[in-house]
Chains A and B, each alone.
Chain A
């Protein structure tokens, strides 16, 4: 539609000629998304304390939570086959947690942008507000994926082996999950002006969403209500493929491999294991819905 809009296109209402050729509309939108993305990356890269903090947090979880509970939980995992340790079970969950929290909290940066006037600078520019929302989301999702990648460094601590191929499989899924949650963060932040309000929504809506996604507990023997919540929670479908890809690559015994969902290691609905493809499809759909919502909410003018 707007793709063909070149500099020479007669634009009704614009009669002045500009110095130099202004970029076409589609090119401008791509440029705007790109530069907003780049800004997020620069800000992340320059804030070393944020990088260290966001990397240390999952490590603490892995060590304290993983080691602390492994004695009690160890036997319950993998149907008593002692196939994997609890630390290994939660490792994919810790990656997911790191990615999702980083993505979600990126919404705070939009609240800060509003407070420091930078959002206004973006909103008066001749680019669509949807492009602003998309650029912010893309930046947040990239930062979150990188932040999750740093957690890979702790794999040797819990005896998880990562190959290049496995990492290449994990990245797109991490990014899709990050994109969905970053969109959600932007959607919430688009209507909010104080950091405090954002935190409150986080605690009441977003934390449960992340904690009810099977990050920390096996998916077998849950109370019925939790079973339902975990399965209607779209975030679960981002955690599940990560866990299956990582655990399957560890060379589990035959007995466990074929029955991941019975062992509480994979999601199932009505006895049918949810395939990785279906999980990815659900997360992608959720991400698109959330992103459209974010674009719409940021576009409302007073």
Chain B
């Protein structure tokens, strides 16, 4: 795909003190960050953390309550049309017309973005080839699988050669195989087009594909670094020990000034060198130990360290309230 030339040296996205309230609920709480051109930038956090609300503001669908944001050099409030010309979006929820074919869906998009008629057929074919849907171009989308629809939406988001591509939970609801395929496509796209990618996810494995990650929780950015940098915050290794008397084990570790967390009979602790730590623990701990494992820290460990909860636990709390409110506000548009 053709590389977008740019004469503007500024960042692809610059966000300052951005906030959005829905009534008394603060969905996005004064976040600031900037995304360099060509970067793959991820927003990682549980459902309801404010990810989709942030995307809605950056893509001009929702007005910020406070703060400012510039996308591809255009202010999202004062130059919404400029922003819209410069971005592509893959929404969290499907947004294809199932009664149209894949090609017709892309044609619809191409015309909305003012692509000259003469260029359309070739560009559409190229976009379909990029996501391996060329052969099914003439099929109605209602006959597509979930993974194919997602790939078609990604092709659509890139069709007009945007400077910034927004992906809101691009692999949500896909099986692992389709998820991997979508990720391969996203990486190919970035390498071939140099497009800046802003994505949200609550899958830890996916966040690893990003150049930088902002960890977001309750509408705030709690950490922002490369995946490696974030993992370094956790320390050397994560050791998980299973013991019948787990509370005693936690106390024992506390005695060695190690900060352990327990869930049922599982005790999790961060140490510098796990391979040496385990034998020492077995010798030193008077109680029984059923098992022990060592692994490299994951982003899940980072999230746990930063927020005291795992992402999965966070999903169980009232986080969905924010999501529900935002959706209602956007759909009913009661507020002006």
**Interface residues, chain A, with chain B CB atoms under 8 Å away:** 11, 13-23, 27-28, 31-32, 34-35, 39, 42-43, 46-47, 114, 116-118, 120-127, 191-193, 300-302
Contact = CB atoms under 8 A, between A and B. Distances in A.
B280 interface: no
B82 A23 contact: no
Interface residues of B, number: 52
Contacts of B208: none
A116 B98 CA distance: 9
Interface of A is mostly: loop
Contact of A126 (B5, B8, B94, B113): B113
B61 A124 contact: yes
B59 A34 contact: no
A104 B335 CA distance: 26
B169 interface: no
B7 A15 contact: yes
A16 B160 CA distance: 14
Contact of A116 (B81, B94, B107): B94
Interface of B is mostly: loop
B114 A126 contact: yes
Given A20-B115, A302-B335, 17 more contacts: A15-B73, A16-B4, A16-B6, A17-B7, A20-B119, A22-B116, A35-B111, A39-B104, A43-B97, A43-B100, A117-B95, A122-B112, A124-B59, A126-B84, A126-B85, A301-B61, A301-B62
A121 B109 contact: yes
B114 A302 contact: no
B191 to A, nearest CB: 18
14 contacts: A15-B8, A16-B6, A31-B114, A35-B111, A35-B112, A114-B331, A117-B94, A118-B96, A120-B95, A123-B61, A126-B112, A193-B328, A300-B333, A302-B61
A301 B76 CA distance: 12
A32 B112 contact: yes
A115 to B, nearest CB: 9
Nearest to B88: A124
B169 to A, nearest CB: 13
A122 B115 CA distance: 15
A34 B161 CA distance: 22
Task: Name the residue in A28, A114, A120 with the highest tally of chain B Cβ atoms < 10 Å from its Cβ.
Answer: A120
B329 A43 contact: no
The 6 A-B residue pairs with the shortest CB-CB distance, nearest first, are A117-B95, A125-B112, A23-B114, A35-B111, A28-B114, A126-B84
